[in-house]
Amino acid sequence: MAGKRNAGKKRPSMFEVAKFAGVSHQTVSRVINHSPDVSDVTREKVQKAIDELGYRPSNSARALASRRSRTIGLIAGGQRFYGPISAISSIESMARQHGLFMTVSMVHEALCTQAEFDDLCRTFDEMNVDAFILLTPTDVMFSAACRTQVMQPRVIVTSTHGSIGVQDGLRLMSPADRRRVSVVGMDQWSAMAEVMRLVVEYGHRSVLYFAGPKDWRDAATRLLAWNKLCATNAVNSVTVQCNTWEASEAYGKMNHILDNIGRTGGSLPTCMVCANDSQAVGVARALHEHGVRIPQDVSLVGFDDMPAMDNMFPPLTTVRPGFEQLGVAAMREALYLLGEGDENSFAASRHGVGLVSAELIKRSSIGPVQRR
């Protein structure tokens, strides 16, 4: 059986493999590193020796030889949320496909300080990571990712807008650092344009928009895009500002609005657009408890297409971001900056951010405006 002759013995070296196969240790190295400069016959002979001896390449030795650790350092916020976790899973999967190892550190997206971020980068630097991928959903994390001092290439995953613009963030870096940086994100603008197109198509001109927390860049970008679209399409929109993404907060705010309408005799807008699906769940619950039907009385739209949204009653119309594609794009950018892959081709780009598309998923929670 392969590797049996070394059972219980010291781990075999590359030199032992070379001696067993009758080749130089440089040839063994070329086979291990998949060099094309080895004949098929020699490659087969070396592989047979590797299998017979049970040889396993030392990652540290390979790193010394190539000056690469084959390790990517990932710092990410938003670990409690569907989108970031989906993107992280995709990044890790693609890294493995390319023979790379991910070392991951999760931080609190709102409480992360510059000092904490810098300490994590220094720790990863001591591990000799080849590049950084930084998932920065909030303004504080994006600023930290731009200010931190690292020599390795870095890919920043974020949205186009917030309290600090992407270009302003990049200007915090030296010109040399900027040449080793790529920024990727989700195309919030086109997604919100698709939502607006559907809202207008069904005749809605009065909308409640439930905005996400102000320090989240996705929330800021969606709100900015939505307000600009409302002005262009003559839609009257009132923003309900939420401090979290949680269903419970949106539920409480919707209840308060419905109670006020009940007391004052006002009219409810014909459509509710929420910055994420959790908010839409809370809004739907409040509407149901007040006897307001979806979509007969009001329409409802979410964002994220979280699991089970197609099984809400009624199934929720929402936006399905390409979280998997976002992770792939981030990893491809890292490979490109490392000189190991081709440059990405993005369908859209805004403000220096390569954008991944999102898809509007139309379900039965939206319908035409009914006469009142």
Indicate the pLDDT class of residue 7, thresholds 50, 70 and 90.
Answer: very low
3-state helix, strand, coil split of the chain in percent (to 5) is 45, 15, 40
pLDDT at 13: 79
Indicate the pLDDT class of residue 2, thresholds 50, 70 and 90.
Answer: very low
Q: What would the mean pLDDT of 310-326 be, rounded to a whole number?
A: 94
Whether the Cβ atoms of residue 62 and residue 34 lie closer than 8 Å to each other: no
pLDDT at 80: 79
pLDDT at 127: 86
pLDDT at 64: 44
For the cut 90, the answer to whether the pLDDT of residue 138 exceeds it is yes
To which H or E segment does residue 293 belong?
A: none
| Topology at the third CATH level for domain 189-321 | Rossmann fold (3.40.50)
Indicate the pLDDT class of residue 67, thresholds 50, 70 and 90.
Answer: low
Nearest CA to 224 out of 254, 187, 192 is that of 192
Strand order through the sheet with 236-241: 236-241, 206-211, 271-274, 299-301
Indicate the pLDDT class of residue 255, thresholds 50, 70 and 90.
Answer: very high
| pLDDT tens track for 347-364 | 778 888 999 999 999 999
Q: Where are the domains of the chain?
A: 4-55, 70-186+323-356, 189-321
Instruction: Name the average pLDDT for the chain.
Output: 89
pLDDT at 200: 97
Distances (CA, A) of 355 to 78, 140, 155: 19, 21, 13
| CATH 1.10.3720.10 given to domain 4-55 | no
As a whole-number percent, the residues of the chain with pLDDT over 90 amount to 64
| pLDDT tens track for 166-188 | 999 999 998 888 889 999 999 99
pLDDT at 372: 54
Whether the Cβ atoms of residue 317 and residue 271 lie closer than 8 Å to each other: no
Q: Which residues contact 270 (CB under 8 A, 6 or more apart)?
A: 203, 204, 205, 206, 207, 298, 299, 369, 370
For the cut 50, the answer to whether the pLDDT of residue 1 exceeds it is no
| Highest averaged pLDDT of the listed ranges 9-18, 36-45, 100-109, 353-362 | 353-362
Q: What would the mean pLDDT of 321-343 be, rounded to a whole number?
A: 89
Indicate the pLDDT class of residue 337, thresholds 50, 70 and 90.
Answer: very high
Whether the Cβ atoms of residue 327 and residue 91 lie closer than 8 Å to each other: yes
Return the minimum-mean-pLDDT range out of 21-35, 78-92, 330-344: 21-35
Which CATH number applies to 70-186+323-356: 3.90.1150.10, 3.40.50.620, 3.30.70.1150, 3.40.50.2300?
Answer: 3.40.50.2300
For the cut 80, the answer to whether the pLDDT of residue 18 exceeds it is yes
Whether 4-55 and 70-186+323-356 share one fold: the answer is no
Distances (CA, A) of 300 to 74, 239, 282, 290, 324: 36, 15, 11, 15, 26
Full-model pTM: 0.80
pLDDT at 295: 96
As a whole-number percent, the residues of the chain with pLDDT over 70 amount to 92
Indicate the pLDDT class of residue 342, thresholds 50, 70 and 90.
Answer: confident
